[in-house]
Amino acid sequence: MKKIGIFFLAICIWSSCSSSRKTNQTSAIRTIDLDQKIAQLEKDLSKSIAQVKSLEASNSSTTLAKEECNQSLMEIRTSYEKYSAKLSKMKKELEASFPNNLNEANFSILEEDGRLVITLPNSILYASGQADFDGKALEIIQKLSFVFTNNKGLQILVEGHTDESPLKKGSQYADNWDLSMARAVKITRQLERYGVHPSRLTAAGRGYFAPKNNIDSDKARAMNRRTEIIIRPKITELLLLMNEI
């Protein structure tokens, strides 16, 4: 009987130890799982922090780009306003220099599309089919040169235009295009002689390819026979500012 009691006592002690070992093992597994979860959370947190920092840097870069863009736009606007003021000033001086000519047919001084366009009918500058000036033409060009030299910082494009009528046989010019170019160059050189710096001047011949009036009539053809002097800013300066945006 005594031996049986000892046997049951041994079983109880073994069971108690076995249960304790299982509890310890379960506790250890839970601890490992918890450590892994904590490590993953820390990893996810680090990744989230990095993403937030990246987003903040991106927003900062975008804000800086917007500020630079706005600054460039302000510079373009300021440049354009200064240029517009120069154009308005020149227009007033030209109108004061040619009070009588403004009553002539097809003579005009207009601001259009951010440019100042002076239209001179060829009849007050040249004989038909010719590119040589008379005294009246030289007087007009001299008045123009005085206003141009008094208003620096603007480019001057001289465009020659003709109608579609063919040149007379034996003309020294190959065609209307050749004639329109010769007339534009003549005016450009005369403006230079009167003091306009050549770096401001450009000559172009348009022939009859840019008519003002497409109607087949003598009046329309008279409108098309013209010289246009176009005042504009230095295009390269505006382009450089725009390229910075």
CATH number of the domain encompassing residue 169: 3.30.1330.60
- Provide the CB-side half-sphere exposure for 121 (13 A, CA): 15
40 located within any domain:
no
Q: Do residues 106 and 222 make contact, with C-beta atoms less than 8 angstroms apart? A: yes
210 located within any domain:
yes
Q: Do residues 140 and 133 make contact, with C-beta atoms less than 8 angstroms apart? A: no
Structural domains of the chain, count: 1
* Nearest residue to 232 (alpha-carbon basis) of 178, 169, 161, 153: 153
4 located within any domain:
no
What the block records as the tokens of 70 is 């706005």
**pLDDT by residue, tens only, the chain of 245 residues:** 545 555 444 555 545 555 555 555 566 566 666 667 777 777 777 777 777 777 777 777 777 767 777 776 777 778 778 888 999 999 999 999 999 888 788 899 999 888 999 999 999 999 999 999 988 899 999 999 999 999 998 999 999 999 999 999 999 999 999 999 999 999 999 999 999 999 999 999 999 999 999 999 999 999 999 999 999 987 655 555 555 55
36 located within any domain:
no
196 located within any domain:
yes
200 located within any domain:
yes
Residues spanned by the domain of 144: 85-241
Whole-model pTM: value is 0.70
Element (H, E) at 201: strand 201-205
Residue in the block written with tokens 């490590």: 39
209 located within any domain:
yes
